[in-house]
Amino acid sequence: MRIDNFRNYDLYRCSLDLTQSIYKLMDKENFFSSHERREFHKIAIAVPKLIASGIGQSNMKIRFKQLNKMKDCLLELKHLSNSSHLIESKGYGYLLNEIENNRLQVLKLLHGYFGWLKRSKKKE
């Protein structure tokens, strides 16, 4: 059940949208600490990378491991955006909403992907 062309897969494309949303926020704001910048950057890079390596993997154990790591990154992103001082910032709520909407969309698609894997595994 390996997907050969993961770039056309909705889960991967939505993760790229999330990455772009994070970069838009990073471009707009200069008051992030260096630690916050590193964490946002790490998540922006890790999510599409983990999806690509998970979807393209034929070994199911490694696939689930990669996708669960990606799920942890999404939870870390939620915590980072909620704990950040951006909430107090005026005028950037639309970027935070965009990040949260993309994060939720990736999570929904991920859960759908896990369901698809489960159903296809039962048929075999």
Q: pLDDT, tens digit, for every residue of 92-109?
A: 778 888 999 999 999 998
Per-residue model confidence (pLDDT) at position 48: 92
Per-residue model confidence (pLDDT) at position 58: 78
Side chain identity at residue 112, one-letter code: G
Q: Is residue 71 part of a domain?
A: yes
* Crossing angle of helices 34-55 and 10-28, rounded to 10°: 170
Q: Is residue 17 part of a domain?
A: yes
In the chain, the number of structural domains is 1
- Domain of 12: which CATH number? 1.20.1440.60
Per-residue model confidence (pLDDT) at position 117: 65
Side chain identity at residue 29, one-letter code: E
Positions in the chain short of pLDDT 70: 1-8, 29, 31, 84-91, 116-124
Do residues 97 and 56 lie in contact, with contact meaning Cβ atoms separated by under 8 Å?
no
Condensed to tens digits (0 to 9), the pLDDT of residues 70-80 reads 999 999 999 98
Range of the domain at 25: 6-123
Q: Which residues contact 110 (CB under 8 A, 6 or more apart)?
A: 11, 67, 70, 71
Q: Is residue 1 part of a domain?
A: no
